[in-house]
Structure 1
Amino acid sequence: MDLSYSEEQLLLKDSVSRFVARSYEFNRRRDNLHSSLGYSAENWALFAELGWLMIPFDEEDGGLGGSAVDLMILMEEFGKGLVVEPFLATTVLAGGLVAALGSDRQKGDYLSPVIDGAMQLAACYIEPDSRYCLSRVTTKAVRDGGGYVISGKKCVVLNGGHAENYLVVARTSGDSNDQSGISCFIVPNGVSGLSVDNYRMNDGVPAADLVFTDVRVPESSVLGAIGDGFKALESVVARATFAACAESVGIMDELLNKTVEYTKTRKQFGVPISSFQALQHRMVDMFIACEQSRSMLLMAACELDQGSESSLKAVSATKARVGQAARLVGQEAVQIHGGIGITDELDISHYFKRLTSIENLFGSVDYHVGRYMSA
């Protein structure tokens, strides 16, 4: 099997790499993260101009028809720079739901502006007691006249504070754990009855908890067929999980490289600590973990691109392995750097925080091990 990148993929990798090197100096990135938006609007417009926001979508939807490998390349490079722009939240997650379920009119109204960089979306599917289970939906959408009334709570909504529209997963029929009866609605930010509580996660990325109290939406807000949204949600979240794994691999690569470089310059007893055999063994373990994660990522990319029935299983296997590797690589990087490794002034701590957040995003290691076994 030929696992080498095509010429177009090499150009994409080079383009993103040059952007990170040129525009994502650590202090500038930290300033963007601490701004009111939590990212740079200028960078987001540049993403649209360069066509990166088109990559996950089919050509008939106005995208580039990018493969899972294309998405992997993009997210790995984003991980190396700790890119904070809401590509995962708006483009992969929320945009993916519109692409999977939306009508032509809805795609024109919501997907095209996302591709152009003119609209921010957020996917609301996690609930306080769902524990990663996508079918555990208690938020209700009740038919009322010519529309629906939505009531319930959603948590950890990525980009929730700045989205202009929300993709809300709600139950229109069935019990709280049924896969059938799950529907998706487009709800504008600021609608009556919607409460948004903004906060920052451990890695500084903005998120929000949303409370829907008798929020009324028209019939036209329904995405896809009523009660038939679970499979699309499962597929989109699997692709987002894969994208997060690719970001983790990029972060781990950067932590390994920075740690090796540090040990070559840091001296004890008059010699670089890279000469200490115990540290060499630990860095070899970091390298092996990175390479194993990349191999799993490539396997999942192939499964996703082939549309294999085992693609969900492959994504769970990848998420579990990457999560285990992320903990090892992150902790070793911090420990080898010593006390300075946990300070806000050093980028190592920020890479570690992001890895820790991703480890619990879209399901923990234990969750995906169990999901893999049950599959």
Structure 2
Amino acid sequence: MENAVALKDALGARFDRLKAGEDGWRELADAGVLGLPFAEAHGGLGLAAREGFAVLELLGERAIALPYLESVLLAGTLLDRAGGDHAASWLPRVAVGEARLAFAWLDDADPARAEREATGWRLGGGKLLVIGAAEADVLILIAQSDEGRAAFLVPHDAVAMKAYPTIDGRRAADILLDHVSLPASARLALTPNDIAQIFDVGAAAVAAEAAAIMARLVTDTRDYCRDREQFGQKVSDFQVVQHRLVDMNIEARRAAAAATLAVDALELAPGPRAKAVSAAKVAVADAARFVGQNAVQLHGGMGMTDALPISALFKRLTVIESEFGGRDEHLARYMALA
């Protein structure tokens, strides 16, 4: 906990000094956190991916849209775990900010599939909403094979993609795999359980990020209500507003507790891990909607503008509700495991 606080303080100071238009990714590289979950042999710090959640929390509560989760904690962790020549070649460059990875996992209507060829693999189908794909040098792509889900390292220029902005200020792309041929070495040495675990890491990560965002929303909304006057008195003096702020704080704290339990469960066996992560995702989805909507409402018209960070924070919470599985999907998984 102390290490996480120290990391957030150090990074926060760096971003406080960042001027408009400067590269936030460069700040992450200079702070040494781009290699946080990689083995020392790959230029990293050898820490667990969960240690990087403090970075996500800082980026989330400051409404800074950078693909740290997808590039480093997910794609990078998978590549590090697979090892081999690809990891030795790419990860030291990622750690110093000279290269970027993207994580292509969400299937479109024609799911990504991998078929063996005489000299390697042929990929077909497509992927949706690949965060940071246009800026990435290579993709870590999940496709269905005869042996289950498999992960492949795919060069950026081997696929067709359509890039676009997301509502929460990030950049994404849809990817078309039009008979993409890859060498046998492109398949990473990962098991289906490795891939399932990284999805749970992603869900737990956005739960932790959402909890940090909600804490910021509660604080900002409280301060705004204390400053704003209506009918000759502070808005925060109205009893109904006080009750609303208390309810927002309770929901934010409940989400934070659920997220903490999910993060602590990441090293457990698949069943308990999945159950804790799904419980957290359901709790966070419910709390995020309540806290976000009430924050916007209590800010009035200012909550809908870009003049305050409230709008960007609300948009990010809205995206997190469905990211790495929506509420209903995780509720169904939790009930199946109960």
Fold-level similarity (TM above 0.5): yes
Matched, 1:16 2:11: yes
Partner of 2:180: 215
The 1-side partners of 2:293 and 2:40 are apart by 42
Letter in 2 for 1:12: L
Alignment match, 1:153: 126
RMSD after superposition = 2.0
In the TM superposition, what are the counterparts of 1:1-375 in structure 2 within 5 Å?
5-6=1-2, 8-23=3-18, 28=20, 42-67=23-48, 70-100=51-81, 102-129=82-109, 138-173=111-146, 180-191=147-158, 194-224=159-189, 229-305=191-267, 309-375=271-337
TM-score by length of 2: 0.93
User: 5+ residue gaps in structure 1?
Assistant: 33-39, 130-136, 174-179
Equivalent pair of 1:170/1:182 in contact (CA under 8 Å): yes
- My pick for the range that moved more, 51-60 or 148-157, is 51-60
1:74 Cα deviation from its structure 2 partner: 2.3
How far residue 60 of structure 1 moved from its aligned partner, in angstroms, is 4.9
Cα pair distance change 1:16/1:307, threshold 3 Å: farther
Residues 119 and 183, structure 2, Cα contact 8 Å, conserved in 1: yes
Could you tell me which runs of 5 or more consecutive residues in structure 2 were left unpaired when the two chains were aligned: none
Q: Percent identity?
A: 34
Amino acid aligned to 1:66 = L
Runs of 4 or more, structure 1, over 6 Å off, are none
For 1:79, the aligned partner's letter is G
| Deviation sequence 1:320-367 (CA, Å, 0-9, x none) | 111111100100000001122112333211111111011111111111
- Aligned in 2, Cα 1:199/1:170: closer, same or farther, shift over 3 Å? same
TM-score, structure 1 as length reference: 0.84
* 1:114 Cα deviation after fit: 1.5
Q: Distance in 1 between matches of 2:281 and 2:40?
A: 29
1:23, distance to aligned residue in structure 2 (A): 2.8
SS in 1 for 2:298: helix
Deviation at 1:371, TM superposition (A): 1.0
Distance in 2 separating the partners of 1:199 and 1:166: 17
Contact 1:151 1:215 in 2 (8 A): yes
SS in 2 for 1:93: helix
| Residue aligning to 1:133 | none
Check 1:59–1:17 CA distance in 2 against 1; reply closer, same or farther (3 A cut): same
Contact 2:111 2:127 in 1 (8 A): no
Partner amino acid for 1:14?
A: D
Q: 2:63–2:309: 8 Å Cα contact kept in structure 1?
A: no
Residue 181 of structure 1: how far off its partner (Å): 2.5
